[in-house]
Amino acid sequence: MRQGKGTLLESIRHAYDGLVYSLQAERNSQLHLFAAILVVAVSLWLGLDTLEWALIIASIALVFAGEMLNTVVELTIDLIIMEHRPLAKHAKDVAAGAILVAAIAAAIIGVLVLGPRLVDKLQAMGLLKV
């Protein structure tokens, strides 16, 4: 049972621990981190404006938050149910489907935001002829 709310610093520490756990224990979180680093690097190179950065950051955050919530669902079900049950599988599948939707949306936003600028930059460098 919970013994009180603790300090703000303790809450931040627990949140940090959860993020680190997700990145260490979940392969998909590691893949999302790699993709996020790549997207941020390309975004810096392309010199995005404020609104474009907001879209990119929101997309990255949505995918990470979704992946972490998916992990919560999986861990909770694994903690409660030891044997295979169809409803547990459905719950895990739906949580995974939710993160798939978020990842697809983030990829589409990435193409819409980065695509035109990337084509322009590569053409200017003579690396792409369209």
Contacts of residue 130, defined as CB under 8 A and 6 or more positions apart, other chains included, come to 119, 123
Catalytic residues: 67
Provide the mean pLDDT of the chain.
Answer: 94
When pLDDT is cut at 50, 70 and 90, the band that residue 61 belongs to is very high
Residue 128 tokens read as 């792409």
Domain locations along the chain: 8-124
**Stronger pLDDT, 110 or 1, i.e. the higher one:** 110
Q: Is 31 within 8 Å of 64 (Cβ atoms)?
A: no
Residue 8 tokens read as 């703000």
* Alpha carbons 44 and 107: distance in angstroms, whole number: 17
pLDDT tens-digit map of 12-54: 999 999 999 999 999 999 999 999 999 999 999 999 999 999 9
Q: For the domain 8-124, what is the CATH code?
A: 1.10.287.3610
- Mean pLDDT to the nearest integer, 77-91: 93
Per-residue H/E/C for the chain: CCCCCCCHHHHHHHHHHHHHHHHHHCHHHHHHHHHHHHHHHHHHHHCCCHHHHHHHHHHHHHHHHHHHHHHHHHHHHHHHCCCCCHHHHHHHHHHHHHHHHHHHHHHHHHHHHHHHHHHHHHHHCCCCCC
